[in-house]
Amino acid sequence: MTDRPDVVVLGCGIFGAALSWHLAVRRSQTVCTIDLDWRDTGRGATAASAGILTYPGWDPWDLDVVRRTREEYRALCDGSGVGEFRPNGGLRLTGCEEGAVWIDRILRVLVRNGVEAERLDRKQVDALLPGGGPEGIQAALFTPGDAVFSTAGVASAYIRGATRVRAEFARTSAPPRILRSGGRWQVELGSRTIDSGALVLACGAWTKRILEGLGCPLPMAPFRAQACRLRPRPLLAPFPTIHDIDLGLYVRPAAEGRLLAGDGTERVESDPDRVDRRADLGTLERIVTDVGALFPGTDSFAVEHGWAGVCVASPDRYPLVGPVPGAPRLFIATGFNGFGAMRAGGLAGLLAEGIVDGAWEGLAPANPGRFPEPILPFAPQPEFPLESVGEAEYALGPTVSAVTVTSAPLSLFSEEASYRSLRSPIELEGLCLSSLSEWFDPFLPLFLREALRTHGTVEVAEVEGGVRGIYLQGTSEGVGSLFTRTRWIAEHFLSRLGPQGAYSEGAWIPGGDPIDILAADLRDWPGVTTLRNPVRMARAEDLPAVRALAREVGGAGDDSWFATLPRPEETLFLCELDGRVVGMSGLTRVGAYARGHSFLVHPRYRGLGIGTDLLQARMLWLSRTGGRQVVSEIYDGNIASHIAAGKAGMAVVGRMYHYRPNRHS
């Protein structure tokens, strides 16, 4: 790469990565982006972000920025297969009259500016939350377009896209030295000097110190915020992101039935180099208590991880994005008040437009030069409402016209894939598997081996040497299985469905038959003392009786699968009454992870609790042998299996779909 790029970007968080992509891919600029975290500790705001995108309803300008960001993240994640963008809706709750007044004001702003939103009653709130909502709700506002995503994943996808064209990404081994000489900016990285006509500071909490060192101070205040990941018992199905405006608390669904929650925002300025990156014990206890009130149907919440990050406040709570006054070709992006991740894509596009074309109208409300001198200290005020609910009229922020920006099309984020069929287990040794499934990643190597061992179909989609999609189909079971996080790869496989169709976790196309995913974490399993019916593990001599039950109750079954039992990774639990096998439950085990399957009870023996005993027995065996997590799939209409799984400690945590030919548009 050149040491004289068009633009140097200091900071490689989600904003720096998005700006680099916009400059390199959309504006044809050469870019050098420098990660300032030379300690390699992930201390930036991106690493600490909750990954929530919601429509705050501040003013038309801000809504357009959030709308653009949403569409860009959606296209980015669909095209790249990373980022985990999930539209889940947003739910704002209040238990007081003042909060209800604020919700009504926000609703008017959103509807007036074309954002889908509605006020909900208590019954509607209960329907949206697992186990029902909290007591004492005065008002609730629902915005279906809200979403959650992985900030680190989105940033990495931007970086990958920018690297393919005109962008270089570097990391410093020490704080860089910045100089201005001959009308250009020099950034010294050890023995290397990067010389550029434009410099962008997108380095979060460290921006204030760098600006002061350059003699260009601006009003901003780094502040500490805290969050944690909680493991509920039972695990939770996805739900809308909740903002409790009375408590200042947010809660969003996280992977594998967990949730992410935060408050603990401090209203004093912090030093980013000295701030404690651990969450306070008192804050964690308060979050657990408050989250418990929001989910009264959940037994308990265990803190799996707590952390603190540093955000940057501005005096008026609008960001500072644009040219620095009195410093030619110096630009900043900071002051997001804790809401930067939900605006990074849209603001980065506008900043790239200003840097390249000098068009700054779209960033007028974020103009860094809008504050009069002298620079006075101020206290951070990062609450979710922009203004106090005690105001007579809801403030709409700066008086500006709405700026509509064009979303980046999916094609800009899509990559070329090569598709190939695998014929031999030897070919599996060279595969580079990425994360393709929320619940079944641990089992994919085994699934691949089993499909090849039984002479089934195995097809992989690879991008730059990494597997980004897998399609499997056994020889006797007509239904295929599709694993991918990338939309265009899913559409490729789904366009060639066999007669029985395919299963997939992604809601890629309309018309799929829903299947519930149930799971439990064995660390929270309450245990069982007695079983009503005799249950034991199957032996080799049981196989004829097991196959007979499978044929009688479930149809033909997969003879090639039965023919090779027993195998170390497969365990069958049987119930035997009246001298015959009347129930069975299978378990695929990969280390600490297990997948339940082949759950059958003979119709003549149903209603005796056999199903519950079979599932309890396999949970007991897993817990005693070091198992951590078990997952199963059950069709929506299979009420008996749902009841048995619930009694055994499992809960619905998500959905997958059975796509059949000619059943979708």
Q: What is the pLDDT of residues 165-212, one digit of tens each?
A: 889 998 877 778 899 988 899 998 888 899 999 999 999 989 999 999
Q: Which of 507, 539, 566 is the last residue of a domain?
A: 507
pTM of the model: 0.92
pLDDT on residue 661: 83
Q: How much is the mean pLDDT over the chain?
A: 89
Copy the structure tokens of residue 61.
């300008």
> Which amino acid does the sequence have at 265?
T
Q: What share of the chain is helix, strand, coil (3-state, %, to 5)?
A: 30, 30, 40
Q: How far apart are alpha carbons 405 and 65 in whole angstroms?
A: 8
Q: Based on C-alpha coordinates, what's the Rg of the chain?
A: 27
> What is the pLDDT at residue 33?
93
Count of Cβ atoms closer than 10 Å to residue 316 Cβ:
18
| 280-283: long-range contacts, CB 8 A cutoff, minimum separation 24 | 280/226, 280/308, 283/226
359 and 469 both lie in a single domain: no
Cα(342)–Cα(73) distance, rounded to whole angstroms? 9
Is 490 in the same domain as 630? no
Q: What are phi and psi of 152, to 5 degrees?
A: -65, -40
- Between CA 587 and CA 584 the distance in angstroms is 10
Q: How confident is the model at residue 553 (pLDDT cuts 50, 70, 90)?
A: confident
Look at the chain and report how many structural domains it folds into.
3
- 611 and 538 assigned to the same domain: yes
Residues 198 and 328 in one domain: yes
Confidence of residue 385 (pLDDT cuts 50, 70, 90): low
Report how far apart, in Å, the C-alpha atoms of 608 and of each of 511, 536, 603 are.
36, 17, 11
- How many angstroms separate the CA atoms of 437 and 448, rounded? 14
pLDDT of residue 624: 93
Any idea how long the chain is?
Answer: 665
535 and 489 in a common domain: no
The CATH number that applies at residue 642 is: 3.40.630.30
Is residue 262 in a domain? no
Q: What is the pLDDT of residue 395?
A: 44
Measured CA to CA, the distance from residue 616 to residue 625 in angstroms comes to 14
Q: What is the dihedral of CA 39, 41, 46, 51, to 10 degrees?
A: 170
Residue 18 within any structural domain of the chain? yes
Residue 287 pLDDT exceeds 90:
yes
Q: pLDDT at position 172, please?
A: 79
In a domain, 322, yes or no: yes
Identify the CA nearest to 270 among candidates 111, 427, 414, 380.
380
pLDDT at 479: 86
Domain C-terminal end among 507, 539, 567? 507
**Which of 247, 305, 262, 257 is closest to 52 using CA atoms?**
262
Residues 344 and 484 in one domain: no
By the 10 Å C-beta count (0-12 exposed, 13-18 middle, 19+ buried), 114 is classed as: exposed
CA distances 539 to 533, 545, 550, 565, 642, Å, are 18, 11, 16, 9, 27
CB atoms within 10 A of CB 555: 7
Give tens-digit pLDDT for 321-370: 999 999 999 999 999 988 999 999 999 999 999 999 999 999 999 999 99
Residue 219's pLDDT is 93
| Beta-strand pair 167-171/31-35 | parallel
Domain boundary among 467, 483, 507: 507
Residue 43 within any structural domain of the chain: yes
Listed range (277-286, 396-405, 413-422, 557-566) with the worst mean pLDDT: 396-405
**Predicted confidence (pLDDT) at residue 439 exceeds the cutoff of 90:** yes
* Region at 69 (left for phi over 0; alpha for psi -120 to 50; beta for the rest): alpha
pLDDT tens profile 234-246: 999 999 999 999 9
Going by the DSSP 8-state scheme, the letter that residue 191 receives in this structure is T
Q: Three-state DSSP class for 484?
A: strand
Question: How many Å apart are CA 187 and CA 196, to the nearest integer?
Answer: 8
- For residues 211 and 323, membership in a common domain is answered with yes
The parent domain of residue 588 ranges over 521-659
Q: Is residue 41 part of a domain?
A: yes
Given strand 7-10, what is the order of strands in its sheet?
A: 167-171, 31-35, 7-10, 198-201, 330-334, 320-323
Residues 503 and 550 in one domain: no
Q: Are residues 467 and 614 in the same domain?
A: no
Residues 197 and 334 in one domain: yes
C-alpha span between 615 and 599 (Å, rounded): 9
Q: Reply yes or no on whether the pLDDT at 394 is more than 80.
A: no
**What DSSP line would sit under 262-324, residue for residue?**
EE---SS---TTTS--SPPHHHHHHHHHHHHHH-TT--EEEEEEEEEEEEEE-TTSS-EEEEP
Q: Are 472 and 451 in contact (CB under 8 A)?
A: yes
The CATH number assigned to the domain holding 338 equals 3.50.50.60
User: Nearest 5°: phi and psi at 402?
Assistant: -65, 135
Say whether both 492 and 549 belong to one domain: no
Domain membership flag for residue 201: yes
13-65 pLDDT, tens per residue?
A: 999 999 999 999 999 999 999 987 644 545 677 888 999 999 988 888 999 99
> What type of residue sits at position 499?
P
Torsion of CA 343, 349, 355, 360, to 10 degrees: -70
Say if residue 439 is in the same domain as residue 531: no
Q: Please check whether residue 65 lies inside any domain of the structure.
A: yes
